[in-house]
Structure 1
Amino acid sequence: MPAFQLFITDDTLGALNPHSSRPNAFDDTSISVGGTVATHATIAVIAAQREEQFRAAMTSRDIISHTKGILMEHFSVDADRAFGPLRALSQRLQRTARRNHSASLPKPNIRPSPDTLRNRRLPRRDTPRAQGSACR
């Protein structure tokens, strides 16, 4: 019974293991075709993995952008200034910024620690919001 490894360089992605109820069912031609099918299966697995990584990256980007937007609105700062605390929190907790999303959301009347904001206090917006505002 033939077995075809699905691999790229040093990583094994899986195996293609054809079965038959007949003895000696696989000749040289079927082995050759099996190798070709295994190559195509490897390419399909790689494409699926890359698409999954792309979707995860897009989700991370959306979550980080959402969190930055909340900080920008809450503290009336620009995008670069809002990203600073996220980066500092990520480094301090040794986690990705996406995983810090819920931990980084500002709580009412609570300011991030001075270390997180690089010893700068951010002013809280005291102006009333327009009726029907989508923020918060």
Structure 2
Amino acid sequence: MAVGRGLKSQLGLPLHVGEDGAFGSLNFYSTSSEDISEEAKASAELFAAHAAIALGHAQERETLNQALRSRKVIGQALGILMERYQIDEDRAFDYLVRASSHGHLKLRDIAQQLVDERNGG
């Protein structure tokens, strides 16, 4: 189908970030030449390296933002448990860990449920 639409060559490059390996690819297509020059390959590889770095930074930033959101909700849940049961922070955290383990849920999800319940949600 692609050839019928004029595709003559294609170059696909994996996007590598860190030790995690490839998490995508960058694909170039040509409708004017059946061969891809070495110069075009080198330019494409450089572009793919820059794209991988940019995507890696965006992914890292999102991971950090998620961690901050999780930390906030876990802190709120700890405060709720400490007040509700008159326990210290360590015991409140142990409570969340046990609830997470027994319910086979992530700790942040247990914490979110507790905060939502407290807020009437």
The TM-score by the shorter chain falls in which range? Answer: 0.7 to 0.9
Q: How far apart are residue 4 of structure 1 and its match?
A: 1.1
TM-score (norm 2): 0.74
Would the aligned equivalents of 2:73 and 2:112 in 1 still touch at CA under 8 Å?
no
Q: Which has the larger radius of gyration?
A: 1
After superposition, residues 69-84 of structure 1 pair within 5 angstroms as 69-84=79-94
1:56 is aligned to 2:66: yes
Q: How far apart are residue 28 of structure 1 and its match?
A: 1.4
1:3 is aligned to 2:12: yes
**Paired amino acid for 1:59:** R
Q: Which stretch shows the higher mean deviation, 7-16 or 91-100?
A: 7-16
Superposition RMSD in Å: 2.3
Alpha-carbon distance in structure 1 between the residues aligned to 2:87 and 2:20: 47
The DSSP-based 3-state class of the residue aligned with 2:108 is coil
After superposition, residues 1-136 of structure 1 pair within 5 angstroms as 1-8=10-17, 9=19, 11-24=21-34, 26-104=36-114
Would the aligned equivalents of 1:86 and 1:104 in 2 still touch at CA under 8 Å?
no
Q: How far apart are residue 34 of structure 1 and its match?
A: 0.6
Gaps of 5+ in 1: 109-136
| Fraction of identical pairs, as percent | 29
Structure 2 CA distance for partners of 1:52 and 1:35, relative to 1, 3 Å: same
> What count of residue pairs does the alignment treat as equivalent?
107
> Whose strand proportion is higher, 1 or 2?
2
Structure 2 CA distance for partners of 1:65 and 1:85, relative to 1, 3 Å: same
TM-score (norm 1): 0.67
Would the aligned equivalents of 2:100 and 2:110 in 1 still touch at CA under 8 Å?
yes
Q: How far apart are residue 10 of structure 1 and its match?
A: 6.3
Would the aligned equivalents of 1:3 and 1:15 in 2 still touch at CA under 8 Å?
yes
Would the aligned equivalents of 2:16 and 2:52 in 1 still touch at CA under 8 Å?
yes
* Residues 41-91 of structure 1, C-alpha deviations (whole Å, 9 max, x = no match): 111121111111111111111110011111122223321222121111112
Alpha-carbon distance in structure 1 between the residues aligned to 2:43 and 2:112: 51
